[in-house]
Amino acid sequence: MSLALIILIVVVIVYDYINGMNDSGNIVAAMVSSRSMSLGSALFLAAVFEFAGPFIVGTAVAKTIGSGLVDPSVINLNILYAAVLGAISWNIITQVLGYPSSSSHALLGGITGAVAISVGIKAINYSEVVKILGVLLVSPLLGFLINFLVMKLLFYLGKNATPKANKVFKYMQVPASMFLALSHGGNDAQKSMGIIVIGLIICGTQSVFLIPLWVMILCSLALALGVFTGGMRVMKTLGSKVFKVQPVHGFGIQISSALVIFSAALIGSPVSTTHVVSSSIVGAGSSAGINRVRWGVVTDILLSWFLTVPFSGLIAILFYYGIMYINP
């Protein structure tokens, strides 16, 4: 294994770790904000099921990223460096600002930007890009709609419930959070696997797109560690600034989000956990009343969504020029 390939693997693992940090707030925000579990316990539980995700869900998303988005035969390691570094940079910027940002969008922007500036747009599979963007757009809408309906149903069924029902939903959030973490791990860790396997093929380490066990373990572990170390500022935005989450809302948010993310992973479509969870929270707030949602914060989150692909792509282009200057 060459030094250049080892460097790529390290960069991808850093992206995977930051992805986990970026999304940890999405996974545990509802449960911690509703005081169903302490932050440390929630993060540990999430990390365990994040690691298990890819081994249960499968690797369909990795194949989409690794062999469907671009033509692997015309790209090189410099392109992959730039793509991943562009995604990492955007994730760090949004982490510092405390806004939920999509690591999926950032990686998509980084890949398309680096490929377009290096070998031209002809190497991009635009039908696959349109498909991915379509799923990325529809999935948060589904998260909003499903949780809106779930919350309406729960409140209808529990209209005569006593305050003890609140304690029931606190306990129910534990398995719901396990399902959400499992779904997230099964979707997001695969993106890094796809990039590493492209690197292995480029360097001649393997000739076909197969994901070695060590790659699965490495990427799953990096994502889980990122989730465990947490993203407190993002969690605060999702857990309280958008809408004050109660245990019943937390349960609905986790179940609705997990269903969307898990379904997408099974069909090989990368989705944004950030988008899905954020829209589910808005759905929960809207079900309680439109005026219960802090729409100014929602507007800021939406703005960060729309900026992610072009800005991560632009950053990847800058990295590509820098890398080519150092290593032409």
Calpha distance 312→307 (Å, rounded): 8
Summarize the confidence of residues 263-290 as an average pLDDT.
78
Calpha distance 1→4 (Å, rounded): 8
- Per the listing, tokens 């799923």 go with 135
Which of 1-15, 21-35, 189-203 has the lowest average pLDDT?
21-35
The residue among 24, 103, 5, 30 whose CA lies nearest residue 249 is: 30
- Tally of domains in the chain: 1
Tell me the pTM.
0.83
Quick check: 99 pLDDT over 70?
Answer: no
Q: Which of 125-134, 251-260, 301-310 has the highest mean pLDDT?
A: 251-260
Q: What's residue 239's pLDDT?
A: 46
**CB neighbour list of residue 150: distance below 8 Å, 6 or more residues apart:** 252, 255, 256
Q: What's residue 293's pLDDT?
A: 61
Calpha distance 5→11 (Å, rounded): 10
Calpha distance 264→246 (Å, rounded): 27
Question: Would you place residue 274 in the very low, low, confident or very high pLDDT band (cuts 50, 70, 90)?
Answer: confident
Asked if residues 220 and 189 have their Cβ atoms less than 8 Å apart, the reply is: yes
Asked if residues 177 and 27 have their Cβ atoms less than 8 Å apart, the reply is: yes
The residue among 157, 214, 187 whose CA lies nearest residue 61 is: 187
Q: What percent of the chain has pLDDT over 70?
A: 86
The residue among 174, 191, 176, 155 whose CA lies nearest residue 257 is: 176
Q: What's residue 49's pLDDT?
A: 92
pLDDT tens digit sequence for 181-205: 998 888 888 889 989 998 998 888 8
User: Between 304 and 79, whose confidence is greater?
Assistant: 79
Q: What's residue 80's pLDDT?
A: 92
Q: What is the mean pLDDT of the chain?
A: 81
User: What is the domain extent for residue 13?
Assistant: 3-326
